[in-house]
Structure 1
């Protein structure tokens, strides 16, 4: 018998979330992370109630609330003229409706919380271990000839090398690129007060800017996204700072100020993949971005990864009295439970991206629709936050 029940390949938010959930259910879990430490490069992320409900059930929500910020509301504005179009209040009614709060948190802080939780749960965490070979058969899995387990989870992200065992698809470039920045509030000047209490989205033709506070309000997170003309031309090097400035040239003063707070020495081209329901090959399953990478417009990447972890642990718990554990059936049940929902999130994220970045008559119609929305209308988020 292997000394490990589940081998998790990838130590990001999805990988550690799965490791903690399974270990909390009594399973022996080992995580192999190729980087020398369990850390991520990035800035802020948003945790909607469908994720914070999971964190509450895991006993981690208090740590998340202490490290993050509960914003007052989500505000949508026109990037060209700065007009506020609509908002969603994150008040007591919102929290009661969805059973948990909306939280924004630094990506590194969430990873640290999950890392500490895994240590408490007895997860075997091994950094600096890149998996180069994985053998899967009826008896179990073996990574690089030394790490044996009854099952394996591929939590190795958008560019997952293990996904190629199940499908021959490749990541799809959207032609958009993101610039990010997270700075101490003391280092920014002239920022709108809303950006220090709310999640504020300015969207315009082919571009948008998002701002919200982090780390108990001590930092300001800014993300700028735009369609790259260089990508459309087929340039080898596209999405540079000069394209950033040109894309936002016609935007309002609040957006222009936000551009000054971005890191300009790095950028993130935006990719996703088409939905697939082929997540499982016997004792190997995809999870998180390896299974369902999505564009960022619904802010659901981390949320869906945490949902995955909760679901898989639940499927394992249903069969906890089986000896030995039927991991092929557990993984298959997990995929059946999750693939339709994540496919909807992936597809809807693409649609929202088109809505955010439209111009001309479509922009006017979008603005009129949003301006006329009742502030207590939840029809666009109930399906996402209640499930």
Structure 2
């Protein structure tokens, strides 16, 4: 496709940011509509996998991201008694691979600063309806915008536009959520590991090194405390003493890192959805990121998937003769990758966030031994690192990107 398109994007999260940057660089005229009155990140920290890092490399932002983030080489989960439930090292899949713990604020700032030409962002605009055939957006003030040749709906897991693009086969909230915050890393012992600790499936603490962010030179950890959604606003959560006692009972070292965190005022809340749509596009409109494929955080793939969506959409628009063909190509490629992650996140979630004590007890006994079996370990690592495509395939990464990882590893050494 050689024509320059007029493109409207709903949402300025990671997927919307990456799509705006990639498509604007290809010569398309891009406008973004964000409901927040002021642009800024939402969320604490996350783990960029090799898949997400490959998109940042494509954008020329890999080195900047590495400068802010913390390299993560091991994924480890254990019971309070110290029994390993999960123990994965990136090097066991490939010597080049690692994850990058990153603050939301750092990624937001990198993507936002990189979009320095042709920038059009409208803040405080909640899009409530889309005329898919004409490419017209209508906001909550009654104003219309467009027409656009392409409308990208990238407004997150709770998107109210999803069902209008395509009737979901599944769209439901998860009964479990989380509290999270950023804390100073200090003398934290596990500086290159994602660590989790479990009490059955009812309680989980996670600690992820996420480096620093623009304007804050302090190295941080992202803290995660799993709770039923119904408990997020309960008296037990509001009672600081009870809350700290509960966290310390699971992981005293993690509780110590939160000694200066105001409870509950300093804790943000996260709620999740499971959304599956069979068709990702309608006329001129297409879904991207969590609006297309929201899932639980157990596999930690949300940001990575959104970045891959943005790159796949750009590539489809480059290769196809027109918008309809491009959207069909984009859907085929991304659904082949996303589908297995929907399956595994749905089935793994009860193992880590539920009230099923017997299932959790079985997990504690067999999950780690099964992951050590020949053949099974590589398959598990591909799922956890975002590199599984379909049931048995592997998502290819560009050889030049792998060479770039080699060079960065050599520089670090």
The question of a shared fold, defined as TM-score above 0.5 by the shorter chain, is answered with yes
Q: Alpha-carbon deviations, 1:180-238, whole Å to 9, x = none?
A: 1102235xxxx6512x331111122212111022225711211111235659xxxx968
TM-superposed deviation, 1:30: 1.4
Partners of 2:135 and 2:146 within 8 A in 1: no
> Which among 95, 100, 105 is matched to residue 102 of structure 2?
105
- Structural mapping, 1:56-67, within 5 Å: 56-67=57-68
5+ residue gaps, structure 1: none
- Structural mapping, 1:335-374, within 5 Å: 335-357=331-353, 360-372=357-369, 373-374=371-372
- Does residue 203 (structure 1) correspond to residue 202 (structure 2)? The answer is no
When residues 32 and 374 of structure 1 are mapped into structure 2, their CA distance, relative to the original with a 3 A threshold, is same
TM-superposed deviation, 1:366: 2.3
Aligned length: 366
When normalised by structure 1's length, the TM-score is: 0.83
Match of 1:297 in 2: 298
Partners of 2:76 and 2:194 within 8 A in 1: yes
TM-superposed deviation, 1:150: 0.7
- Does residue 286 (structure 1) correspond to residue 287 (structure 2)? The answer is yes
- Distance in 1, matches of 2:285 and 2:177, equals 32
TM-superposed deviation, 1:247: 6.5
- Distance in 1, matches of 2:299 and 2:167, equals 26
- Does residue 124 (structure 1) correspond to residue 83 (structure 2)? The answer is no
When residues 60 and 192 of structure 1 are mapped into structure 2, their CA distance, relative to the original with a 3 A threshold, is closer
Deviates more, 1:128-137 or 1:282-291: 128-137
- Distance in 2, matches of 1:349 and 1:334, equals 22
- Does residue 145 (structure 1) correspond to residue 123 (structure 2)? The answer is no
- Distance in 2, matches of 1:310 and 1:37, equals 26
> Which among 130, 147, 171 is matched to residue 134 of structure 1?
130
Match of 1:76 in 2: 77
Q: Alpha-carbon deviations, 1:115-143, whole Å to 9, x = none?
A: 112225x3423323332443232x54354
Q: Alpha-carbon deviations, 1:285-314, whole Å to 9, x = none?
A: 111111111110000011110111111111
Identify the structure with the greater strand proportion. Answer: 2
Does the residue aligned with 1:312 lie in a helix, a strand or coil? helix
- Distance in 2, matches of 1:257 and 1:382, equals 34
- Does residue 155 (structure 1) correspond to residue 154 (structure 2)? The answer is yes
Match of 1:177 in 2: 177
Partners of 2:178 and 2:226 within 8 A in 1: yes
Deviates more, 1:336-345 or 1:58-67: 336-345
TM-superposed deviation, 1:361: 4.9
- Structural mapping, 1:27-106, within 5 Å: 27-78=28-79, 80-91=80-91, 94-96=94-96, 101-106=98-103
Match of 2:215 in 1: none
Does the residue aligned with 1:116 lie in a helix, a strand or coil? helix
- Distance in 2, matches of 1:229 and 1:125, equals 36
When residues 361 and 32 of structure 1 are mapped into structure 2, their CA distance, relative to the original with a 3 A threshold, is closer
Does the residue aligned with 2:71 lie in a helix, a strand or coil? coil
When residues 244 and 328 of structure 1 are mapped into structure 2, their CA distance, relative to the original with a 3 A threshold, is farther
TM-superposed deviation, 1:275: 1.4
Partners of 2:205 and 2:250 within 8 A in 1: no
- Distance in 2, matches of 1:18 and 1:238, equals 42
Partners of 1:159 and 1:171 within 8 A in 2: no
Q: Alpha-carbon deviations, 1:333-365, whole Å to 9, x = none?
A: 212222243232123112222222476554443
Match of 1:327 in 2: 323
Partners of 1:23 and 1:29 within 8 A in 2: yes
- Distance in 1, matches of 2:198 and 2:116, equals 41
- Distance in 2, matches of 1:132 and 1:103, equals 35
Deviates more, 1:45-54 or 1:248-257: 248-257
TM-superposed deviation, 1:58: 2.0
- Distance in 2, matches of 1:8 and 1:95, equals 38
Does the residue aligned with 2:378 lie in a helix, a strand or coil? coil
- Distance in 1, matches of 2:90 and 2:55, equals 18
Partners of 2:165 and 2:285 within 8 A in 1: no
- Distance in 1, matches of 2:15 and 2:130, equals 20
When residues 341 and 241 of structure 1 are mapped into structure 2, their CA distance, relative to the original with a 3 A threshold, is farther
When residues 86 and 156 of structure 1 are mapped into structure 2, their CA distance, relative to the original with a 3 A threshold, is closer
